[in-house]
């Protein structure tokens, strides 16, 4: 029988929190580390994981057998249903033995035909070549954890914006790349949510967070260094806040119409019902229609 390690015991560090005229003491607040780099916290987590592995070591053969059976029932090399957008079919592809997907597209040779439910993406040697826009497997090699929250192609199909989380804390960095050359365009937007929408061919709307990681502001950034005027807010070469609010009872997210006619910025009360959505930004007139 495998030797069982001693149970890890977290140290107690008194931490008083003053709120609403009350004082709450949390002796384990030190375990919260959004940066994921505190040596004491990491050491304790490693000890917890090693203890769990020690206790569960006797079930490892069964776990391996169960995992192999589950994996054997999954078709690993598969693609999603192709989505026709403009001159391309867009789809995601899984590869045998890989953990992540590839974001791909194929050119539509006869783009003049009307879209139909009977459309079939051509494959084979005579079909247009597949173009891999983003390979999550390659990106994930650099990180212990990796997740793409959103991947959006611009309306003119020249730019791709994607939000990646490399820690598992749902704090994203948004990157924009050239869809053909696959090279970065501009600087990444760090510490934001995964809510993204293109506002035309070269302007991206994204949502930032407040100090306790709730979506709170809608922002817009241009990648062609144009200058617009939004309502009474002027913004120049880089980015500006489109809509912001201070109440802690609201969260912010984005919706967009297809084809691009309107971007909706919704403010949702944390206790509200879905039909209680409010506040909309209308395009292309860029006029705020407040419904709060």
- pLDDT digits 0-9 by tens, 11-31: 999 999 998 999 999 999 999
- pLDDT digits 0-9 by tens, 159-213: 999 999 998 989 999 999 999 999 998 889 999 999 898 988 888 888 888 888 8
Residue 43 has pLDDT above 90, yes or no: yes
Residue 151 has pLDDT above 60, yes or no: yes
Q: What DSSP character marks residue 272? A: -
Q: Smallest Cα–Cα separation from 174: which of 201, 198, 158, 192?
A: 192
Q: Smallest Cα–Cα separation from 191: which of 207, 172, 219, 218?
A: 172
Report the range of poorest mean pLDDT among 22-36, 83-97, 114-128, 268-282. 268-282
Q: Smallest Cα–Cα separation from 26: which of 12, 11, 15?
A: 15
Q: What whole-number distance in Å separates Cα of residue 227 and Cα of residue 251?
A: 28
Q: What is the pLDDT of residue 277?
A: 38
Query: What are residue 37's phi and psi, to 5 degrees?
Result: -135, 5
Q: How many residues does the chain have?
A: 292
Contacts of 4 (CB under 8 A, 6+ apart): 54, 55
Cα–chain-centroid distance for residue 207? 11
All structural domains of the chain, each given as residue ranges with its CATH number in brackets, are 16-72 (no CATH), 75-142 (no CATH), 145-292 (2.130.10.120)
Q: What whole-number distance in Å separates Cα of residue 263 and Cα of residue 231?
A: 15
Residue 254 has pLDDT above 60, yes or no: no
């Amino acid at each position: 029988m495998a030797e069982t390690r001693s149970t890890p015991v977290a140290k107690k560090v008194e931490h008083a929190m003053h709120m609403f005229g009350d004082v709450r003491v949390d002796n384990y607040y030190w375990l919260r580390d959004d940066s994921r780099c505190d040596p004491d916290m990491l050491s304790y987590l490693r000890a917890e994981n090693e203890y769990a592995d020690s206790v569960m070591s006797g079930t490892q053969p069964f776990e391996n057998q169960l995992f192999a059976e589950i994996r054997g029932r999954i078709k690993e090399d598969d693609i999603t249903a192709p989505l026709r957008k403009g001159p391309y079919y867009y789809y995601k592809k899984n590869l045998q033995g890989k953990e992540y997907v590839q974001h791909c597209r194929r050119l539509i040779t006869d783009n003049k035909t009307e879209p139909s439910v009977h459309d079939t993406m051509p494959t084979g040697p005579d079909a247009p070549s597949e173009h891999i826009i983003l390979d999550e497997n390659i990106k994930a090699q650099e990180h212990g954890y990796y997740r793409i929250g959103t991947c959006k192609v611009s309306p003119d199909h020249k730019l791709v914006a994607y939000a990646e989380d490399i820690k598992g804390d749902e704090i994203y960095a948004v990157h924009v790349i050239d869809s053909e050359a696959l090279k970065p365009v501009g600087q990444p937007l760090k510490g934001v949510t995964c809510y993204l929408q293109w506002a035309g061919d070269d302007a991206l709307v994204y949502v930032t967070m407040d100090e306790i990681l709730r979506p709170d502001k809608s922002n817009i950034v241009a990648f062609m260094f144009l200058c617009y005027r939004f309502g009474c807010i002027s913004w120049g070469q880089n980015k500006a806040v489109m809509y912001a609010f201070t109440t802690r009872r609201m969260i912010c997210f984005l919706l967009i119409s297809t084809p691009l006619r309107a971007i909706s910025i919704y403010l949702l009360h944390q206790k509200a019902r879905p039909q209680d959505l409010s506040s909309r930004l209308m395009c292309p007139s860029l006029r705020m229609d407040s419904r709060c």
